Amino acid sequence: MSKLNFYISLFIISLLPNLVIASEPKPWQMDLQPPSGIIAETATDLHNFLLVVITLISLFVLALLVYVCWRYRENANKVPSKTSHNTIIEILWTVIPVLILVVIAVPSFKLLYLQETDKKYDMVVKVTGAQWYWNYEYPDEKISFDSYMIEEDKVSKGQKRLLDVDNPLVVPEGTRIKFLITGNDVMHSFFVPSLAVQVYSIAGRINEVWTEIPKGPKKYYGQCNQICGVNHAYMPIVLKSVSKQDYKKWLADAKVKFAKVDSDLKIVMNNEKINKEIN
Ligand SMILES: [Cu+2]
């Protein structure tokens, strides 16, 4: 293989992670999951920038320590200096870190502003954390359903152990979604790494966050990341984006499949009515 071919192959291989149809953790993964959507992309850029800054600072401090250990060792520095103040150095070690923090603050506040203030969204999903499953509600469609992890002994081919669920959260591709996140019992946390969504689910309180689901059908895997009890590790999140037509089909089916609660309620009300009539 010529050198050029080798580099072309390397380039193609480097593109492969972007072609996968699921965002999920990989064995021996070192970096963040590839970001999806503007928030995750901005957060990943900030992370990469900070990685450079902290690496440079750590190397600089390490170099200073090594130099001081070598230059002022006992053999080379028989009479130690009694200096305890140096105005110029003191000004420098105060002003330079402040400047570095200001430089970090600019992209950091930009990201925070993007996450907290953009109110343009296409649909709302209410997420409720419970011991130990998630409940998803589509207020505009009047459907709600529970999402449980598939037990290890029931995982079928193509499903991921500890990650796949019976009822994924299905959303149309290319939409902006506002999540309203609340809790049913103890604290949980709704965490989907590739979308950079991580929000606490707390009983009696609603937290909100928005995210943009990019175009293209894909599965986004996540997990509860607030230690919430004995089955904390067994309440994964699966967010499945599908085409707009497939979403419509899913919605029509879901309205039938998840109408159980309503019909149960009707049965209870009917029974009460019958009981009243009998009495
Ligand atoms: Cu939890």
Domain boundaries, the chain: 37-117, 124-264
Q: How far is the CA of 162 from the centre of ligand 1 (A)?
A: 14
Q: How far is the CA of 201 from the centre of ligand 1 (A)?
A: 8
Residue 133 CA to ligand 1 center (angstroms) comes to 7
Residue 272 pLDDT: 64
What's the gap in Å between 193 CA and the centre of ligand 1?
Answer: 15
At residue 27's C-alpha, the angle toward residues 181 and 177, to 5°, is 25
In 3D space, the residue among 184, 133, 183, 167 whose CA is nearest the CA of residue 239 turns out to be: 167
Number of other residues whose CB lies within 10 A of the CB of residue 200: 17
Can you read off the two tokens belonging to residue 220? 């986004």
192 CA to centre of ligand 1 in angstroms? 13
* Distance from C-alpha of 173 to C-alpha of 240, rounded to nearest angstrom: 9
Tokens for 37, please give them.
Answer: 């959507």
In the structure encoding, which two tokens stand for residue 59, read together?
Answer: 């190397």
Q: What is the largest CA-CA distance in the chain?
A: 106
Fold designation for 124-264: Immunoglobulin-like (2.60.40)
Residue 244 backbone phi and psi in degrees, to 5: -60, -40
Q: Which pLDDT does position 42 carry in this prediction?
A: 94
Q: CATH number of the domain at 37-117, out of 1.10.287.90, 3.40.50.10540, 3.40.1830.10, 3.40.50.12160?
A: 1.10.287.90
Give pLDDT tens digits along the chain (279 positions): 456 665 665 555 444 444 447 788 888 988 899 999 999 999 999 999 999 999 999 999 999 999 999 999 999 988 988 888 999 999 999 999 999 999 999 999 999 998 888 678 899 999 999 999 999 999 998 899 999 999 999 998 888 999 999 999 999 999 999 999 999 999 999 999 999 999 999 999 999 999 999 999 999 999 999 999 999 999 999 999 999 999 999 999 999 988 755 555 555 555 666 666 666
